[in-house]
Structure 1
Amino acid sequence: MYSPRLFVETDRERVLDIMEGYSFGCLMVTEEHGGVEIAHLPFVIDRDAGAWGRLRVHMARGNRIWKLATEGRPVVAVFSGPHGYVSPRWYEQPTRQVPTWNYAVVHAHGRAAGPMSRDELVKLVDDLAAIHERGAAEPWSTGKLDEGVLEGLVQGIVGFSIDIERVEAKFKLSQNRSPADHARVARALEERGKPDDLEMARLMRSRNGQ
């Protein structure tokens, strides 16, 4: 990934926060003849496993990407965080500027291990549900399923884990602008007020020590 030095993010917690907060990612694996198989999947991020954490993911058994991944090929999981248009109107000298785009993105590189055992797969489904059912009065879990339904679920999906060997994280958040322009962009994002705008402004301020 092309990443000018100013936009490279190396802070582990910030990187993992993006992966966790935007955990519906894109998994890419090379095919036998040089093509690329791509799947869009919900991941569970185990933050405390290794230098950059571990990913766990499941997909339909009919999705051939799991076979490619568990053959030992390099895999990449892409997590796209907040993003949005930045207007020249927001700068101190708007007639000397052009539009741009701010964003945060993480590429997690590693190799897959699997497929998971039945118990590992059920735990993954339960862990994924627990994350997204958080706050519900009666959170769903596989324990609420009839036994036959649970066995049908397990037979129809495959799971594996990915130990993250390295990450490429690019946070393009107006670091190349003057302090005054940086502050103006953050303020304009807050005023525009879309969910991604507010998260970008928060990242801009926290990364800049504001």
Structure 2
Amino acid sequence: MANANRQFQVTDPAVLHALVRAQPLATLVIAHDGALHANHIPLYPDPTRGPNGSLIGHVARANTLWPLLPQQAVAVFHGPQAYVSPSWYPSKALDGKQVPTWNYATVHAHGALSAFDDPVRLRAILHTLSEQHEAHRPDPWSIDDAPPDYIDKMLRAIVGIELAVERWEGVWKVSQNRVDTDRAGVVQGLMAEGTPAAADMAALVRAALVA
């Protein structure tokens, strides 16, 4: 990621946090004893913890990740992505010298990953996660809807994790390296695909077109 084309790099924390909130399922990777360990865990940003904020979530107590902590880790968040056909570029008609590519938006968060099992803090995490993901529903579920003894049992079955972010990296590869007419062609081609994923990428390319 550090070697990504500068043209594609995004550093605005608000933009990076927005993608994390929209796509919270992180691929969380650590190295231990020469082996890589990857987990897929929903995380949410807490900008109030540390100079670069933290990412917070939880894993099952049976998960083999948390006994290995603390460790350096990277959390990878994937935003919109889409195949881009060279047939969408008007410039292809000039000399045919175009090839396919792939557009995407990603965030990498590097930092120190630690574990905790304070029940008060774990309960607060569950409140935060459920409120964030239930808020748009007409009848949102709340942790308080479940019997207290049941929640207490569930709390004993999980362990909290926190990634104290030392460095954020964002890459938005959304056809910024193309001329405006080609970018407009990419938007048109993506919209013609008729899928939500293609429409999401078209919105990012369109934003780069008018920037």
Question: TM-score with structure 1 length normalisation?
Answer: 0.91
Contact 2:25–2:77 (Cα < 8 Å) also in 1: yes
Residue 82 of structure 1 is matched in structure 2 by: 80
Q: How does 1:183-198 map to 2 (within 5 A)?
A: 183-198=184-199
Q: Identity across aligned pairs (percent)?
A: 35
| RMSD over equivalenced CA pairs, Å | 1.7
Instruction: Report the CA distance shift for 1:89/1:51 in structure 2 as closer, same or farther (over 3 A).
Output: farther
The answer to whether the Cα contact below 8 Å between 2:54 and 2:163 also exists between their aligned partners in 1 is yes
**Alpha-carbon distance change, 188 to 50 in structure 1, aligned in 2, over 3 angstroms:** farther
1:60 equivalent in structure 2: 60
Taking the aligned partners of 1:57 and 1:198, their CA distance within structure 2 comes to 30
Shift of residue 150 of structure 1? 1.0
* Cα distance in structure 2, aligned partners of 1:164 and 1:206: 28
In structure 1, the partner of 2:115 is 114
Q: 1:169 maps to what in 2?
A: 170
**Cα displacement string for residues 114-173 of structure 1 (whole angstroms, at most 9, x for unaligned residues):** 314101111111111111111223321221111221121011110122221101211111
CA 1:48/1:195 → structure 2, altered by over 3 Å: closer, same or farther?
Answer: farther
Aligned to 1:27: 28
For residues 124 and 159 of structure 1, the distance between their equivalents in structure 2, rounded to whole angstroms, comes to: 8
Aligned-partner Cα distance in 1 for 2:134–2:46:
17
Q: In the alignment, which residue of structure 1 is the partner of 2:10?
A: 9
Determine the C-alpha separation between the residues in 2 that align with 1:25 and 1:64: 17
Partner of 1:178: 179
Q: C-alpha distance in 2, partners of 1:89/1:58?
A: 45
Would the aligned equivalents of 2:82 and 2:104 in 1 still touch at CA under 8 Å? Answer: yes
Aligned residue in 2 for 1:39: 39
Cα distance in structure 2, aligned partners of 1:198 and 1:166: 30
CA 1:8–1:60 in structure 2 vs 1: closer, same or farther (change >3 Å)? same
Judge conservation of contact 1:26–1:40 (CA < 8 Å) in 2: yes
1:207 & 1:20 partners in 2: Cα distance?
21
- Amino acid in structure 2 at the alignment position of 1:167: W
SS at match of 1:36: strand
Supply the distance in 1 between the matched residues of 2:104 and 2:54 (Cα, whole angstroms): 23
CA contact (8 A) 1:29 1:68 kept: no
Tell me the TM-score normalized by structure 2.
Answer: 0.90
Following the alignment from structure 1 to structure 2, what is the Cα–Cα distance between the partners of residues 208 and 90?
15
Instruction: Report the number of matched residues.
Output: 207
Q: Is the 8 A contact 2:180 2:209 kept in 1?
A: no
Gaps of 5+ in 1: none
SS at match of 1:203: helix
